[in-house]
Every structure is written in C-alpha cells, then in structure tokens.
Structure 1
Amino acid sequence: MKTIQAVSYPVHFQEESYAALTNLIAKNDYSTIFVLVDENTFEACYPRFLEKLNTSRDLKLIEIASGEINKNLNTCIKVWNAITDLGGDRKSLLITLGGGVITDLGGFVASCFKRGIDFVNIPTTLLSMVDASVGGKTGIDLGVLKNQIGLFANPQMVIVDDVYLNTLDEREIQSGTAEIIKYGLTYDYSLFEQIKKDKYNNINKLIFRSVEIKNEVVLEDPREKYLRKILNFGHTLGHAIESFYLESEDKKSLTHGEAIAIGMICESYMSSILLNLSIEKVAEIKETILSIYNKIEIQKEDFSAILDYLKHDKKNVNGQINFVLLNDFEDYKIDCIVPEELIIQSLEYYNS
C-alpha cells in the first residue's frame, strides 16, 4: 500500500514502514529511544517490532497497565518519571506500540515532556489504526470523562502493520469497525456498503480507505473548527454511554466501539426526527450495526445518569450539547441541539 502523507508526517503501511522508521532514527541521531507498551502489546507485539526494526540502537522499554481505566494523569506521571530516570532529554524519541490508550497517552506524554519530544505511533488495534493514531489528537481521561485533557501534536510518522491484528480477539476487531461505519455514514457510503456485505473481511482495504478519509478531513480542518466535527458522529452519546458503563460497579464495561455503535443508532434516530434522514435508513443502520454487535439493554433507570455524562462532553459550548446528525448518507449537519426528551426517545428506539 502506498504511503499517505498527512500535514507534517507520513502514514506508512506494512513491512516497508520499518525501513522508514530505521531511517528516521539514523537521520535524527536520537539520544535515547523509548518504547511505550502495555502488558499485552509487550507480549504479543513487541517481539514482531524488534524483529522488523533494523537498528543497533538500545531501546528502553516502558510498560504501563492496559485499559481505558489507566488513561489518566497518574499513568502519565509514571511514564514521565520513567523517561527521566532512564536519561531522557529533548533529543529523545518515544515510540508508542499499542492501541488507542497507548497512542493517545503516549503522544500526550511526549508532547509535554521538556515541552515536547519526537514520537512515533505504531497502532496495534483496528480502532487505533483507523482513528486514534492519525490526526494529531493526544490526550487522557479525567476520571471517566473521555479525553478531557490533551492537545494537538503530530507524530514523526505512523506505522500501520495489519499483522498486529492477529493478536486481537473478535470483540476488539468489532470495536474498531464502529469507526469504519462512522466514515461510511458521514463521508463515503461505499465503506458502509462493504461492511453490510462482508463485515470486516476485507480489512486491508477498509483500513487504508479509513486512514485516507481521516487524513483528508484533518488536512482541511486540523483543529476541528467545522468539517472534522463529522468524525464525532455517534460519539457524543456514545462517549456518555461508554463513561457510564466504565464507572458502573454492577455493569460490564463496553469497548469504545460498542458504545459508539449504540451512539450511531441513537443519533441516526435523532436525525430522522430533526432532519431528513428517512426512518427506513435509520432501520438499515440499526440492522447493520446489530448484525455485528450484541444488543445491550440499557435500563430506563440509567437514562438520567447517561444524560449527566453528556453534560461534560468536551464539544459542548455554553452548556449546550452539540451533536453531529445526518440529513442522509454522506450528508451531515454539525452543532445540532437535541432536546433531552429526544435523546431519551433515541435510547428507547435502540432498546426496541
């Protein structure tokens, strides 16, 4: 696959990408090279990375605990301390090897350490390949509130090697598929058609087109002033649902993709009431999504708690909750204000 050029960095694919990383390391003569992993990517992905990276340089490994629950400031402090203890300075490089938690947190850590050191993203999950590692967003959660602390910072490069997907179970593949569905509904309907027909069987093609789309959007709107907001479709309510299940002591946590899938169904229903999306197309979206994801029964007594999480969404302005809704496939409207009663109706529609 050809390299995709982002605003200030390339996105390389497959085995050829490691040669580009080797050249980057040689060209910049980094003082120290750190690799950030969690316990899962250390075991399943780090050996592949070492095998493919052709360098005699010493790599300093930093391992954190996996999971969204660890995407917080305390973990950042541990990583900053580790970099400091291991001799890191302004000429250091941080390579992130992992899913969205690793790439988001690692990019944030690198961007803040000594006011910024170089970093490279190597996503190992479908979700991070098609979304988290591309676009320059870094950040951490504040409690269970998603991505409340962060900044825009671009890596030196992104490496997408689909071999790492072999380390994932189907639930993690499904999680990343939600982002591909989002691209299909808002930007390129052919992706949604492929998902309907083959689910995620033609994964390389789906990944490449998804990265292409995100790059096109980010190039036009790097700071999310207008067009880039379409990438939030399904995420406004989806993040609130994800946070609620993450915080709940008596409910099983959802993956990011599972929560966003629910959010897309609900926000499609809102679109049919407030805009021009036909209820038949809403049903098509719901049927396709539920052919991939298990149905989660959201209890009515939990609706109010989910609405409370919505009030903390980072896209809110002047206390108003802003949604991205659809007039049609590939036809969106941003900054839509949705009445609370319609949000509740959309959750009931999902449950029905």
Structure 2
Amino acid sequence: MASSDSSSLFQLNPDVEMRNFGIAYCMVAVFLPALFFLVIKAIYMKDRETPNMTFKLMNIINCSQLTQGITHFLTGPGLIFPNIVTRYGFIVNNLVIKYSQIVGCTMNTFWIADFPMITLLAVSRILVFTNKITTHRFPKFMKLFIFLSWTWIAFVLIYGSITQNLIFVSPGWDYDFSVPYAELFSELEISLSLSCLTISYLAYIFMAFLIYKRKSLMSCVQTRKNEIAILLQSTFVTTYITAMIFVWHQALFSMVPFIDMESKRNQGILNCCLIFHCYVNPTMTLICNKSVRQICLRMLGIRNKTIVATRTENTFTAIQITVTNAI
C-alpha cells in the first residue's frame, strides 16, 4: 500500500505541455539560490567593512527575491507531479496549511514585499546624495516605514495562507475571487506596486538630474556614465515589471486585452518572465557594482588577490556615486 501511495504521489502529469512548463520553471529557477548567495554574501561583506544602510536595503530586496525564486522552483514539481499539490495538502491538513497555500501565498507576498523596499532604497539615495541623512544608520522614519511595511506583509502572508485566496491554476498561480476580500487584496497589490514603481522611477530620474547638476565637481565622463546607468536600469526594470503587472492582472484592465491570458501557453510564458525578473536585480548589481563583482569573483576563486589601486599620484577629490539596483 505504501508503495502504491508513493508511486501515485509521483505520477507524471498526463498533460505534456504542463509537464514541460514544470521542467522549464525548475531549469530557469535552479540557478537563483547560488546567484543570490554570492551577491548577498558579497554585499554583506561590504556592509561589514563599511556599514551602509543602502547595502542592508539591497540585501532585504535580494532576500525577498530569493524567496520568490525558491517558490517558483517549487511550482515546477506541482506541474510535473500534480498529485503533490492535492495529496500533500491532505498530509498536513491538520496544520491548515496546504502545498498550494504556502507556496503560492509566499511567492505572491514576497513579490509585494519588493515594492516598498525598492521605493525606500530609491528615496534614501536621494536623501543621502543631498546630505539630508547619512548612510551609517537608518533614520527613525525609515525604521518606522520598514516596520509598517513588513507588518503588512506578514498580515498578507498569514491571511492568504489561511483563506487560500491564491490558488494553483495550472500552469501558475492566481487570485481566487470566490474567497472573501480576494479582489480587494488584488486591487491593493496593483495600487501598491504601480505607486511604488512610479515613485521609484521618478526618484531615479531626479537622481540623474542631481548628478548632472553637480557635473562640475567630477569628471564629465563619469557623470555621463552615472546618468546613463541610472536611466537605463530604472527604465528597463520599470517597464518590465509594469508590463508583467498589466498582463497578470489583465482581468482588472479589460480596456487593454492585448494578450490572451486564457491561453495556457501565455500563462506559462508569463510565469517564466516572473522567474527571469528575479535575475535582474543580482545581475545588475554584478554589472554595475565593481567592488561587489570583485568580491564574488574572489569567492569563486577566479581572483585571489585584492586589486590594489596603483594611481597614488594625480589623485583628486570627487563625489563618488555608486549606482546599483536602480529598481
């Protein structure tokens, strides 16, 4: 009997397309833990050397996206072996937590958790640049903002897990609007995400403007590089995430039915785009932050020696602006 139960638990999905999507999810998401481990540890080491609240905020965002990546990976087995979703729920039913509840709600909750932290990071960089706050410690208003944000996130996770307002609908997850207040939570998610994206994007445009205004205090080439880096990162990620939000919540934007989300293939492609979104933040960090990149290379054994600056003469004082993780 045990053997029969075990075999039925891992019975392959008869729908080949869903099986393929499950394999694709696992393959795309499998590298995320290693990538985030390197980046998170490198930023943590930098923060240990030079305490900086922006490093801490960056790692909060990284940890949030790592959690999303793990839950995306766990979605794959549910498509390959659909009995896991149903049978595993009965195994832990006494705890009122099912596979579909914990994985789906965790993924969606930490997706939402990204946005307040992204906005706070963008605004804090302007405040640091204009000398309104220092980087050594969090001001009280920022601590309060973080506390309130994560209190709300904890509530969304607990409430969603209990009511199961997010359900597994192959090949992904969606709100179950038959659950009380599910539509309200969906609308709140859209309002929060679009508001935060708008504020973040405007903040980085303003940041680029401030850099341009101070170009006389630094080399013109470095100024242009910083401006371009800020605008490219913020524009790319804002457009990417906004497009995914409109497509995922297309039921609430009936005036723009530009993609048929009744198609399982389109739903699967959108979920793959959500997984690729998790790569953007750490990849941008490695590309744009040389010191983080060097620490990661040393951890991988590619560079064993610390690079020492050789230009001791002809040094000059300049305002240094590190532009990483624009969004």
Greater share of strand residues, 1 or 2?
Answer: 1
Normalised-by-shorter TM-score class: under 0.3
Structure having the higher Rg: 2
Normalising by structure 1, report the TM-score: 0.25
